Amino acid sequence: MPGSHQILRACTIAVLPWAPWTVSAQDYPGLEIEAELAFQSEKTVGNRDRRKISDSFTQLEAGIGLSFTEALAARAILKFEPVRSTTSSRFLDDQGLWIEELYLDYQGEWGGLSAGKFNPRFGTAWDRLSDLFQKSFAADYERTEALGAGVTLKTGTADWGSHELGAALFRFDNTFLSNSAFARPKFGNDDTERVKRNRERFGGPGNTGGLDSFTVILEGGDFPGLDGLGYHLGHSRLARGVSEAKVERGYVGALRWAFDAGQGMTLTPLVELAHLRHAGGSAEHATYLTTALEVGWQDWRLVAARTSRHMDEPADGSGTFGYDYTDSLLSLLAAYTFDFGLEASVAWKRERVEGASLLQAIGFRLSYGLTF
């Protein structure tokens, strides 16, 4: 398990080697680097077995862009974070480093094209909510580490707002690019959240040998008279892997509206509904409903969020538990951003999983963004 000195070394390796070659945006080729480094600590304060578990870890996301022209660039995302779940207290352990995205990207006035390893868009709640307790349920339908290609088409008018249609054809990465460094969990272990190297024989929806999965999204905003209102609609199909009996199909719709409430305050409600038919390639169906309200005032953010996850099992009792159940995640978060860019957050959550076990936890998070 890596200690704190190894964590710092990994963060340095991920960011610093590119810094000396950074050039101004008008020069080509030009290099741009954006990185977010975070430290998070959380502790269970109540659950049914009365165990108090603490977990402290770092997260690093480094985005690297090499621009060949104003429109054409190569882009990469490096991730460094825990790759194992925990059932006992830990501090800066079980952290892995891997390439999450590596692709060529072309962007024009009409839209864009991309090809390589990338994250297909599907849903928004997992992106807009905080890593501190709020996004864990919505992350069930986040699509990451796909190999393939995508296209976007953009349009906009003064009367109808701005809109973007996107589509991606892919399979999940099971090549050497899925390898990770430092912590490298094995496939099949109970605590493995991200396997050290994915392979097609491991199975899983979308983990195939061909480009037979896809996502299609339509999103937009800038409506006249409705400043701050945006929408997102999406459909996905994940092909059967070697261990699945069903194709997983997903549907998602979201609305988000950021508006001025006066006195320097902004209110941003969010609602997102997602449905996975044959979730995980099984006979079960999963429905997620996320509602959230963010209040912004000066350098403060207050966010209340709730996500429910309803599991609809087969009527013949052949599912995991033999009956339908609903999980729930309720969280409250307060965040303050200092003048020099550091954001400090504290949060509380109450979580019920598998329709039974109830857990409460508190935590804090420090995050800082860098641009080179």
Q: What is the pLDDT of residue 2?
A: 46
- Torsion angle of C-alpha atoms 108, 232, 276, 290, degrees rounded to 10: 140
| pLDDT tens-digit series, residues 227-258 | 899 999 999 999 999 999 899 999 999 999 99
Q: What is the mean pLDDT of residues 331-347?
A: 97
49 pLDDT band (50/70/90 cuts)? low
28 pLDDT band (50/70/90 cuts)? confident
- Identify whether the C-beta of residue 334 lies closer than 8 Å to the C-beta of residue 19: no
- Please give the structure tokens belonging to residue 74: 């190569």
Q: Hey, which of 26-30, 261-265, 291-295, 359-363 has the most confident mean pLDDT?
A: 291-295
Q: pTM of the prediction?
A: 0.88
Q: How far apart are CA 287 and CA 274, in angstroms?
A: 6
Give the Å distances, CA to CA, from 301 to 39, 159, 243: 19, 32, 44
| pLDDT tens-digit series, residues 184-225 | 899 988 889 999 999 999 999 999 999 999 999 999 999 998
> How many beta carbons lie within 10 A of that of residue 119, not counting itself?
18
- Please give the structure tokens belonging to residue 3: 């200690």
Task: Write down the domain spans for the chain.
Answer: 4-371
CATH of domain 4-371: 2.40.160.10
| pLDDT tens-digit series, residues 134-168 | 999 999 999 999 999 999 999 998 889 999 999 99
Q: What is the pLDDT of residue 7?
A: 39
Handedness of CA 4, 9, 12, 14 (dihedral sign): negative
Q: Which residues contact 285 (CB under 8 A, 6 or more apart)?
A: 275, 276, 277, 278, 279, 311, 312
- Identify whether the C-beta of residue 57 lies closer than 8 Å to the C-beta of residue 81: yes
66 pLDDT band (50/70/90 cuts)? very high
The residue ranking higher by pLDDT, 276 or 9, is 276
Among all chains, which residue has been given the structure tokens 């999406």?
A: 234
The residue ranking higher by pLDDT, 120 or 357, is 120
- Residue 173 pLDDT exceeds 70: yes
- Residue 366 pLDDT exceeds 70: yes
Q: Work out the percent of the chain whose per-residue pLDDT is above 90.
A: 76
- Please give the structure tokens belonging to residue 38: 């975070």
294 pLDDT band (50/70/90 cuts)? very high
- Residue 10 pLDDT exceeds 50: no
